[in-house]
Structure 1
Amino acid sequence: MEFPSGSPTPPPGCPAHQSQNGSAPTHLERVPLHGPEFSADPQRFYEYLRQYGPAAPVEVAPGVPVTLVTEYSAALQVLQSPDLFSKDARRWRDLNEGRIPLDSPALPMMVHRPNALFADGAEHLRLRQAISDSLAKVDTHRLSRQVERISAYLIEQFSTRGTVDLIEEYAKLVSLLVVNDIFGCPAHLGDRLAEGWAGLWAGEDADAASKLIGESLAELVAYKRAQPGEDVPSWMLQHPSALSDEEMVNQLFTMTGAGADPVRNLIGTGLMLVLSDERFYGGQYGGALLVEDAVDEVLWNNPPAPNLGIHYPTRDIEFFGMKLSAGDPVVVSFAAANTDPALSASRQMLSKRAHLAWSAGPHACPAKDPATLMAVGAMEKLLNLLPDIELAVPVENLNWRPSPFQRGLVELPASFTPVQLRSRTPDPARPTAAAQPVDATPSTPAKGGWWSSFLARWR
């Protein structure tokens, strides 16, 4: 196949980069969606992959081949056809036949776990209803207040310094602590969960971090059975689906990770956009667009979980002219589908809900509304309390997390005029703050873990 005139150049690291006459790689040549080139500019890879048609052969990690769906309409067909495209990773043929490296970085994201994300049919419906019905009971007004309180508390920890890494010291912690609140975590269990997830995300001992998270969640389930409260785990335990303790731990593990990590990425990428684009934050437009607009733009163009729609054909099929074998992974690229040239250039104005950042069909994210509320609230609180905050490095110098499954910044250094933030009232229902300029002296968090320190601060 010859590229049409003006077609994109193969990205660096692509097997076709040095091909003659710009010809497309053969079906045996897979484009690597890993490494620094992909992390730096994934859209260039998606643009190139569109030369194959609606789907293309790629590697999501060395030795891990998948078919990547890049076209919006084809993505919807996969997401909305559970009879043809299963989520059950036990169907993964290459893994079952020993062709996937057991130390592959793709396995934690792709290997089967006994939760709703990897279930189909009646079992998925049973697990999903317990989750979605319980999340629906979350009071959005209370959640909004808690996002404000947690955000204000975290900002207090670095406000006197005048500098901050908005990923490590803010976005990551906001998402973890808000999830702790939704789960009604006691102080010591919330600290352990935050520690476990922080270690897992930092690439430390994954087995130790996962064990800490699992043990903490098991203790939380036992605690909620004995002392139920107005929180998501208690509501799930009371649900007619009658989840066992083991099922509860597996669902909560996925809910914690799938809830906190995308929100972390969404907050971080949203703040980068707001602080670097004059449409949002000054310049000749005077910052006319709102934080909500920035979040929508991120969800369209830089979704926090860009290639997480992993499915397995239930039988050999032909898909838009491609032959797909049963059990070979087909991954919907939410990021590529959202930027499909076939969509209207004004897609973001036509429908804020039309993007696929939260997936679609029976496995659409049940927490998309709370997640968006969390991101908007955290961003607004930061900009309100530190109105002169600005990026400390050029956008082009920022580094992205090296994974095809998540799109998030490694760090986001920022600077601002140091201020002392003090609560005007001890009443936690009114989390207002007064800002006074101060000398730029280092501040330290309160003693104890982040969650127990926050609870001590507000209670």
Structure 2
Amino acid sequence: MYGQEFADDPGPVYERLRRDHGAVAPVLLDPHVEASLVLSYEAALQLLRSPESFGKDPRRWKAVADGRIAPDNPVLPMMGYRPNALFTDGAEHARYRSAITDSLDRIDPNVLRGYVERSSDRLIDGFAPDGKVDLRREYALALPLLVFMEMFGCPPDTADKLVRGMSGIFDVVDAENANALLFEGMLELVALKRGTPGADVTSWLMAHPVGLSDEEMIHQLVLLMGAGTEPQQNLISNGLRLLLSDDRFAGSLSGGSMPIDDALDEVLWSDPPMANYGVHFPLRDIDLAGVRLREGEPVVVSFAAANNDPALAADHRIGNRAHLAWSAGPHTCPAKDAARLIAAVAIERLLDRLPDLELSVPAEQLRWRPGPFHRALAELPVVFPPVPAGPAAPPVPPAAPSGAVPASPRPVPPVPSPSEPQLGERTWPSSPAPTSSTRPEATSTARTPGSAPEGRRRWWSSLAVWRRGRSTTRP
């Protein structure tokens, strides 16, 4: 599961494992790391909802304790123990989780929406005049970083260290140095917020009644950044790839094409950004779906394979949120609503601003980043008619080398003016504002559409025309 062949097309691997082994199969996450992979939806739910039988604490991992896995193995930063809500059980997990959920709950979703919209506009202004861009590097990667900087009160230089470290860990490339860089950036952020707290998640975590230490703060922040940057960019990228390549999303608005929320549902079912994770350790020798699992040996949940289990009905996915992309049970992702909001707003803003986007290479030629855990595009090159940037467009620095994480995103992160509500002020209503990905309800008798341009016209191109009042339809 660690090579380029698996990254390029994991579906056949899941099918072969299911055929040869059933619901649970032996796999290699690395040449030296053995694990069991749960492929069945039913078995995955049983494991995720059984904390009395399967624990999250990797200190139970016998191969690590026995020295069979070297301390510098590249999967350890993703699987090894950290004192945070992901890798703990029982009262310790409840303590960390309460601090995280209480702090995230203080973010006003309407203010978050506005911030994502402004950040998206700043990024789009940077590449709109070019007529082409790698959306993965210049948009899907950069936008979650900007959101993280705002939500967590993180300065740009520190954020640069964090994103480089986090990307290295997920790619399982030079993970030891990546982990050190990540830890260095987190130390800087915690020290900054201890001295100058603000209206941000980092400061709220520090002020929470559970009294997190600096070390505990660092590890909760690593968890939150890991969940809020790498998987977030994959959700945005995979959603855009689907919209730009799947015929189901290429019709006209009036033709009944699926909106953005439905596209995200499809991605979370078919190509979840964290394809294989949810690592657990049996608390004793135990049977799962007829397979004997040994105490202290890692069991990985394949969210991608479970979601695509042939035992599930595959024709009722639109609007169905029963997928496992956010995991399940006591370790369900606490930020799933915010993550979905960020992705939906990022995609709708891009398609509204650049409605004639097209992939510049066939979808089957897109490259994927190797790694056993994520489903991550290496690139998403597109072309579009150039659009003049707005008057406040930021300067564009030289591009980073191919495949590298840019030293900084194109725009200077937007700074709210004193009149703009901050993320934690709760000055706006708590219910999310309507999105352009929701079809408008009919308010009058349908009109015969005017002549359309040659070739397929994507539904969001029609939507952009409708929103801006430039329809050629005659009354």
Query: Which TM class, normalised by the smaller chain length?
Result: 0.7 to 0.9
SS at match of 1:170: helix
| Residue 444 of structure 1 pairs with residue 392 of structure 2 | no
Cα 1:339/1:285, change in 2 over 3 Å: farther
Cα separation, 1, equivalents of 2:254 and 2:144 = 31
Amino acid across the alignment from 2:248: R
Instruction: Report deviation, 1:344.
Output: 1.7
Amino acid across the alignment from 2:396: T
| Residue 329 of structure 1 pairs with residue 288 of structure 2 | no
TM-score normalized with structure 1 length: 0.83
Q: What is the aligned counterpart of 1:280 among 215, 226, 249?
A: 249
Cα 1:48/1:207, change in 2 over 3 Å: closer
In 2, are the aligned partners of 1:237 and 1:243 still within 8 Å (CA)? yes
User: What is the CA deviation profile of residues 91-123 of structure 1, one whole-angstrom value per residue up to 9, with x for unaligned ones?
Assistant: 111222222255533222112222111101100
Cα separation, 2, equivalents of 1:197 and 1:312 = 24
Amino acid across the alignment from 1:340: D
Q: What is the aligned counterpart of 2:131 among 158, 162, 178?
A: 162
| Residue 91 of structure 1 pairs with residue 60 of structure 2 | yes
Amino acid across the alignment from 1:50: R
Q: What is the aligned counterpart of 2:371 among 399, 403, 409?
A: 403
SS at match of 1:358: coil
User: What is the CA deviation profile of residues 144-200 of structure 1, one whole-angstrom value per residue up to 9, with x for unaligned ones?
Assistant: 011111111111111111110111111001111111111022454344434544566
In 2, are the aligned partners of 1:199 and 1:205 still within 8 Å (CA)? yes
387-396 vs 93-102, which moves further: 93-102
Aligned residues: 410
SS at match of 2:98: helix
Cα separation, 2, equivalents of 1:251 and 1:263 = 17
User: What is the CA deviation profile of residues 39-90 of structure 1, one whole-angstrom value per residue up to 9, with x for unaligned ones?
Assistant: 1221211122222222111112212111111111110111011111011111
Instruction: Report deviation, 1:274.
Output: 0.4
Q: What is the aligned counterpart of 2:47 among 56, 64, 78?
A: 78
Instruction: Report deviation, 1:391.
Output: 0.1
Q: What is the aligned counterpart of 2:90 among 117, 121, 125?
A: 121
Instruction: Report deviation, 1:347.
Output: 3.7
Residue 454 of structure 1 corresponds to 413
Q: What is the aligned counterpart of 1:64 among 26, 33, 39?
A: 33
Cα separation, 2, equivalents of 1:203 and 1:45 = 20
Cα separation, 2, equivalents of 1:286 and 1:41 = 32
- Following superposition of structure 1 onto structure 2, how do residues 8-407 of structure 1 map, counting pairs within 5 Å? 33-51=1-19, 52-194=21-163, 196-197=165-166, 206-282=175-251, 286=255, 288-349=257-318, 352-407=320-375
In 2, are the aligned partners of 1:310 and 1:330 still within 8 Å (CA)? yes
User: What is the CA deviation profile of residues 22-53 of structure 1, one whole-angstrom value per residue up to 9, with x for unaligned ones?
Assistant: xxxxxxxxxxx232322122121112222222
Unaligned runs of 5+ in 1: 1-32, 427-432, 434-442
User: What is the CA deviation profile of residues 279-325 of structure 1, one whole-angstrom value per residue up to 9, with x for unaligned ones?
Assistant: 22337985721111111100000000011111000111122222111
User: What is the CA deviation profile of residues 224-244 of structure 1, one whole-angstrom value per residue up to 9, with x for unaligned ones?
Assistant: 233322211111111111101
SS at match of 1:295: helix
Cα separation, 2, equivalents of 1:284 and 1:229 = 44
Instruction: Report deviation, 1:381.
Output: 0.9
Cα 1:284/1:215, change in 2 over 3 Å: closer
Cα 1:49/1:194, change in 2 over 3 Å: closer
Instruction: Report deviation, 1:258.
Output: 1.9
318-327 vs 197-206, which moves further: 197-206
User: What is the CA deviation profile of residues 263-291 of structure 1, one whole-angstrom value per residue up to 9, with x for unaligned ones?
Assistant: 11011111011011232233798572111
Residue 432 of structure 2 corresponds to none
In 2, are the aligned partners of 1:144 and 1:374 still within 8 Å (CA)? yes
Amino acid across the alignment from 1:74: A
Cα separation, 2, equivalents of 1:189 and 1:198 = 14
Cα 1:194/1:45, change in 2 over 3 Å: closer
SS at match of 1:308: strand
Instruction: Report deviation, 1:330.
Output: 1.0
> What percent identity do the matched residue pairs reach?
52
Cα separation, 2, equivalents of 1:169 and 1:444 = 11
Amino acid across the alignment from 2:222: F
Cα separation, 1, equivalents of 2:249 and 2:178 = 38
The root-mean-square deviation of aligned C-alpha atoms, in Å, is 2.6
TM-score normalized with structure 2 length: 0.80
